[in-house]
Amino acid sequence: MVVNTITEAKAHLSALIARVERGEEVVIKRGGRPVAVLHRYTEDIRPLEPGALCGRITVAEDFDDLPPDISAAFGADR
């Protein structure tokens, strides 16, 4: 489906979304030129893979050490 103006798209957004949910693609034009396409959202769900980043991430040796001024502000230097 082609919508000829953005005003028309705004006025009929709910109906356009319903058409997209049914699998239709909606092209929105401005000044006679296509500027946007509405299509159904599909989520790319991949199962989590434990250890997928193993060997690709490193943590600095001093990661848990606070700078002296921040340590003093939290009272951790006592």
- Predicted confidence (pLDDT) per residue in 4-31, tens digit: 999 999 999 999 999 999 999 999 999 9
Is the pLDDT assigned to residue 78 strictly greater than 70?
Answer: no
pTM, to two decimals: 0.55
- Predicted confidence (pLDDT) per residue in 36-55, tens digit: 999 999 888 888 889 988 99
- Give the per-residue pLDDT at 38: 95
Q: Please write down the HEC assignment for all residues of the chain.
A: CEECCHHHHHHCHHHHHHHHHCCCCEEEEECCEEEEEECCCCCCCCCCCCCCCCCCCCCCCCCCCCCHHHHHHCCCCC
